[in-house]
Amino acid sequence: MEYIGDSKYNPDHTPDSKFTSPEYSSDSKMTPDQCDPWTRSIEEHLRNVIEDLKKAQKDHERLSEDNERYDAYLRLPSLLLPCIYGAIIPVLSDNRLSTVVSTTGFVMTGMCTITCSYFQFQSKAKDHSIFANKHSEIIREIEGELIKRKEFRTNADVFCTYLRLKIDNLTSSRP
């Protein structure tokens, strides 16, 4: 059984003739649509997505480094203050000043430890690092798809939908 779309009934029919018509040309001002084939506009859109993902990746990397730095700034005094005050207090044991020094050291150590525990800088740093890696993974997927020849790529609508779901999932669960 032959179909109306077969070349026998329509000699001008080519499998992708609708994609080569002027309304689907890559020079048109169409926004990327999920129904489009791999066109320049979709490729440009994906390159813009890559740039946005790279920016988000750098932001997460920066936040990860900042949180690691904050954690180090607060944990280091928590470790050093007891050692320093442990050495000072026996020297001042005869002096009334020893109670003030020991209390100050105890309070400062407690404040640093509580601040570190409350803000959870280490877990935030880890979360941001994980999200930077997830952004990098999506970037590699897009670049891997764009580097292929068009006939070997996943269908544009399938790939764009997959990316949209992946990016939406990433965005909704970010720290």
Q: How far is CA 101 from CA 82, 105, 130, in A?
A: 11, 6, 42
39-43, 88-92, 131-135, 159-163: range with lowest mean pLDDT: 88-92
36 pLDDT band, cuts 50/70/90, is low
Tokens of 36: 């489009």
Which residues touch 54 (CB under 8 Å, ≥6 apart)?
Answer: 135, 139
> Is the pLDDT assigned to residue 134 strictly greater than 60?
yes
How do residues 137-170 score in pLDDT, each as one tens digit?
999 999 999 999 988 999 999 999 999 999 999 9
